[in-house]
Amino acid sequence: MAPRELHGRLVRLRPLRVEDMTLRTLWSNDPETHRRTLGVEVDPRTEEDLRRWFATLAHDPRSEQWAIELPDAGYVGDLDLHGINPVAREAWVIPFVGEPRARRPEVLEDALRTLAGYAFREKELDRLQVEVLDQDPDTADVLRKMGFQHVDAIDNMNGTHSLIFEIERAGLKPGN
Structural domains in the chain, sorted by start: 6-168 (3.40.630.30)
- Neighbouring CB atoms inside 10 A of 114's CB total 22
Q: What is the pLDDT of residue 71?
A: 96
Q: What percent of the chain has pLDDT over 90?
A: 81
Q: What is the pLDDT of residues 83-104, one digit of tens each?
A: 999 999 999 999 999 999 999 9
Assess whether pLDDT exceeds 90 at residue 110: yes
Assess whether pLDDT exceeds 70 at residue 1: no
Look at the pTM and tell me if it is higher than 0.85: yes
Cα distance between residue 143 and residue 151, in whole Å? 12
Backbone angles phi, psi at 144, to 5 degrees: -60, -45
